[in-house]
Structure 1
């Protein structure tokens, strides 16, 4: 049963889905994790791949950039393919001195400047938070690593032109990094009573650009985050 944006038949998507933003990264993750992976969808350049990891089914599918794009795919996966959990595996920009490039942030919650969640419950400021069992599984998989952090992030609608004065205030309130999808994912998961988590690799830093990853590095240096994401997917 294909949808307007996913060509897979029902049963071809696993109950757990890893969701990077980049279609190339989705293919690379599938090849890295699942020798038996097969492509089950390719609509608008967004491939979906299903296979097994340690005998357990898993799918990988890109979301594209931004909450509107992710919202389309997450809604269809939850509604039509009976997906139970989506784990975003993405990159983020550090905005606090508590993190450095290469660190991983398990996004406990996601502030946002987007209107995506404002109409969910009229009169209520919706809290976009991760699913605790997934957070716990990711943290357990991290062990005592000092390169993994559990904290709020901020999901932006705009990549460029964000107010510089907000960076320090966000950091003061414990926000470690900025990205563009987690708040939307957490909102869609709550709507469908499903589970979601974002595990983010710091690829650049707003306070110090000297160690920023190249575009090639962004596609390859996500092994630590991927390990945590798989642990959450199969907890």
Structure 2
């Protein structure tokens, strides 16, 4: 039996899963990189696949946009399907001039403007962070592929179209590298439920320079990020 949002039975999904936001990106990864592929999920069009990469079983699942969507999928993957390693691969906007479009960022930690952590009823603030083992393996995989990466704090925000155009500058002043919309929920679910998680993002635009990656650039460099994630 599956869950409300994911078809399939236990065993249909590998212990390690890649989580792009876009379900069509999940299909692209399965079609391009995996062998002996099966599609285990089509509910709400959020496609999920399991296949073989370099002799190892791996799954890839669309996770949607925003922390609520990532929270649902990561929670069900961990609790029902017993997934152990969850690797988000997505895009982000850079807050730092030296982190340019097409660069890859590993999220050491994920700050957030969301009230997600209220569910844990903590007596203070929680700092969501990546699994250190996955982080080291990602850096080693990137080095082996001769792909440079940055690592540091990123921020997961609930609002894509902010009313204040200067909103990002206070995050940048504290050294935050980039903004995306899912990592903090993934890290908190993994921490609470005993799984390992890592978010890696490709920079699609830079808030300081105004630079934006072309569709072709995003495709090429997203592929580099996929290869790092798969080689973990």
**Residues 107-126 of structure 1: matches in 2 within 5 Å?**
107-126=107-126
Q: Distance in 2 between matches of 1:163 and 1:121?
A: 30
Find the counterpart in structure 2 of residue 60 from structure 1.
60
- Provide closer, same or farther for how the CA distance between residues 119 and 3 of structure 1 changes in structure 2, counting only shifts above 3 A: closer
1:217 CA drift (Å):
5.1
Q: Distance in 1 between matches of 2:163 and 2:200?
A: 23
TM-score (normalised: structure 1): 0.92
- Provide closer, same or farther for how the CA distance between residues 6 and 109 of structure 1 changes in structure 2, counting only shifts above 3 A: same
TM-score (normalised: structure 2): 0.94
- Provide closer, same or farther for how the CA distance between residues 32 and 52 of structure 1 changes in structure 2, counting only shifts above 3 A: same
Q: Does 1:11 align with 2:1?
A: no
> Do the aligned partners of 2:17 and 2:86 also contact (CA within 8 Å) in 1?
yes
Unpaired runs of 5+ residues, structure 1, are none
Find the counterpart in structure 2 of residue 211 from structure 1.
212
Judge which range, 114-123 or 92-101, deviates more.
114-123
> Do the aligned partners of 1:101 and 1:213 also contact (CA within 8 Å) in 2?
no
Q: Distance in 2 between matches of 1:36 and 1:222?
A: 23
> Do the aligned partners of 1:96 and 1:177 also contact (CA within 8 Å) in 2?
yes
SS of the residue corresponding to residue 227 of structure 1 reads helix
1:98 CA drift (Å):
2.1
1:218 CA drift (Å):
4.0
Find the counterpart in structure 2 of residue 44 from structure 1.
44
> Do the aligned partners of 1:199 and 1:228 also contact (CA within 8 Å) in 2?
no
1:210 CA drift (Å):
3.6
Unpaired runs of 5+ residues, structure 2, are none
Find the counterpart in structure 1 of residue 148 from structure 2.
147
Query: After superposition, what is the alpha-carbon deviation per residue over 1:91-145, rounded to whole angstroms, capped at 9, x for unaligned?
Result: 0011111200000000000010001123324212011100000000001112285
Count of paired positions: 231
Find the counterpart in structure 1 of residue 31 from structure 2.
31
> Do the aligned partners of 1:189 and 1:195 also contact (CA within 8 Å) in 2?
yes
Aligned CA RMSD, in angstroms, stands at: 1.7
Q: Does 1:105 align with 2:105?
A: yes
SS of the residue corresponding to residue 187 of structure 1 reads helix
1:162 CA drift (Å):
5.5
